[in-house]
Structure 1
C-alpha cells in the first residue's frame, strides 16, 4: 500500500440524520483512517473500507465489542459503544477521561441503556442450579462487565437513579449463585458503582468477596514448594495487582477499608519477597 493514511470527505448532513451520538465539538470535514503498521490490506480490511466509502452513514456500521482489536482496521478511535456493539463513526471519539477513567465521547448511554434494560433477552440465567459451561460463562462475564460499565457512565452523567436500576437488574438477571463474583467479570466496577451511589453495604460485600478470592489464590501460590512457587509467581502477582486496585478504589470511598487491607497486602508482599519472589511490575 502506498500510504499510511487515507481520507474520506464527510457528508455532515447525513451524519446528523444518522442517529449516531454526535461529538461535543463540530463534525470534521473529513474522516482520517490510519493504515500505520499495515504492510498490506486483506479482504476483511477492504470490505470495511468499501462499506464506509459507500454507506454515506445512512445505515449504521458496527463491530462487536467481543472482536479482537486486530479486526478493527485501526478504527478503534472512531468507535461509539451502543450495547454490545461498537458503532463506526466518521470522527475521533477519544477524549479526556475523568478521574474514574470514564470517557463520555465513545459511549452512547441512552442507546445502551435502552438496549440492555429493555431489549436484551436474558435466557433464564437466574434459574437456580443452572449449569453454565466455560464458553457461556465468559459471555456472562462480558454482559456483567458491560452492564457495570453502563452504570458508571450513567453516574458520570449524573443519572444516578438509572444507574441503580441497571445494577439492580444486573443482580437479578446474572445472579452470583450462577455467575460467581470475579474481578475479571466486572464485579469490581459494580462495587465502585454501588460505592459512588452511596450503597456502601453493597459495595463492601462485593469488595470483601473479591479480596477473599485473590487473598486465597495468593496464599495458595505462596504455600507451594519452591519449584512450583517460582512457576506461579506471575499468577500470584496478578492477584497482588487486583488487591492493590481494590485498595486504590476504596481509598476514595472507604478509607477505613482501604487502610486495613493495604496493611494485609503489604504483609503478604513481604512474605512473597522473603520466599524469593520478585515484586517487579506490581
Structure 2
C-alpha cells in the first residue's frame, strides 16, 4: 500500500474484524525505516527477509545510479530505464540515486520467490513500483505481480468479479449520507476501473457484460456523488462504443437502448458528440428514424 488512507482500513479489517490475518500488509511509506522492516520480518504473518538488524540498517541508504542497467528481480527482467530514480544534492549539482524502499521491494520479491501472490494497491504511484509496472496486472483496486511482461495488463474476469460482486458501495448513491471532499474525489478511482473493465469487455465483443458494468456503476456511483463530472463524461464514450458494437452486429434495438439510456441519464454529459457517429450510422440504416426519442 502507498500510505495512510489505503493502509489503515486494511489494518482495521485485519486486527479488529479478523479478516484475512494471514496477509501481510506492507506500507511503502514506512518501508523506508529499519524498525518497520524488522517488524514485518519478526511479527506474524512474517516476511522471510533473511536479514539481520544490522544488515537492514546497512540497506537504508540511497544507491548512486549513474549508469542504468537491467536487473533481475524474482526472475523478472527489470529495465534500468524504468527503475524510479530520485535526485539528491551533491555539491553544486545533483546525483541520481535508487532509494532504499525500491531496493527493499526487490529484496522482498526475491525472498518470497513466488511462494505467495504479491499485490500493489492502485494508489501506489510509479515512483513506488520499483520499475515493475510492466509486470503488474490490474484486478480491481490492486495490481497483481505476474511473470508476463506487457503494458497495461488487465484481468477482465477478476476485475469484474471484484467490482460487481466483491466490493460494497454502501451509502455512495444515497444523497442523505455525507461524503467528505476527499472521499468524493477518491470515488473516481472506482470509475477508472469500471471504464477499463468496459473497454476490455467491449474489445471482447461482450457488449452485454460491458453495458451491465456501466449500469452497475451508474447505480452505485452516480454522477451526483462526484464533485467532478469529467469522469462520467469519459464513461459516456464507453456507452458510444457499446452502441457501435451492437449496431455493427445488426442489433439495432440494443444500440438504441444504450443511446437512449445515456441521454435519459444526463444529456449534458458531453455525450452528444460522443455518439454522433452512431446516430449517423443509425440514420443511414433506418432513414425513417431521424431522431433519438428519449422517453
> Looking at CA atoms only, which structure, 1 or 2, has the larger radius of gyration?
2
Matched residue of 1:127: which SS? Answer: coil
Deviations, residues 173-211 of structure 1 (Å, cap 9, x unaligned):
11233336711x2x1342122223321123345673233
Q: Scaled by the length of structure 1, what TM-score is found?
A: 0.59
Structure 1 residues 131, 113: closer, same or farther in 2, change over 3 A? same
Matched, 1:128 2:175: yes
Matches within 5 A, 1:192-207: 192-197=237-242, 198=255, 199-204=258-263
Runs of 4+ in 1 over 6 A off after TM superposition: none
Q: Cα deviation per residue 1:92-112 (whole Å; 9 max; x = unaligned)?
A: 212xxxxxxxx6xx0000000
1:74 aligned onto 2:131:
yes
- Taking a change above 3 Å as real, the CA distance of residues 175 and 207 of structure 1, as seen in their structure-2 partners, is closer
Report whether the alignment pairs 1:161 with 2:232.
Answer: no
Measure the CA separation in 2 of the matches of 1:152 and 1:252: 18
| Equivalent in the alignment of 1:188 | 233
Q: Does residue 111 of the first structure (1) align with residue 158 of the second (2)? A: yes
Query: Which TM-score applies when normalising by structure 2?
Result: 0.57
Return closer, same or farther for 1:188/1:57 CA change in 2, 3 Å cut-off: farther
Inter-partner Cα distance in structure 2 for 1:180 and 1:158: 32
How many residues are paired up?
191
Q: Which residue of 2 aligns with 1:31?
A: 76
Q: Indicate if the aligned counterparts of 1:181 and 1:210 stay in contact, CA closer than 8 A.
A: no
> Unmatched 5+ residue regions in structure 1?
11-29, 95-102, 212-242, 257-282
Q: Tell me how far apart the structure 1 counterparts of residues 101 and 277 of structure 2 sit (CA, whole Å).
A: 45
Q: Which runs of 5+ in 2 are unaligned?
A: 1-63, 86-95, 243-254, 282-295
Match of 1:56 in 2: 113
1:253 aligns with 2:278: yes
Q: 1:161 to 1:128 in 2, by over 3 A?
A: same
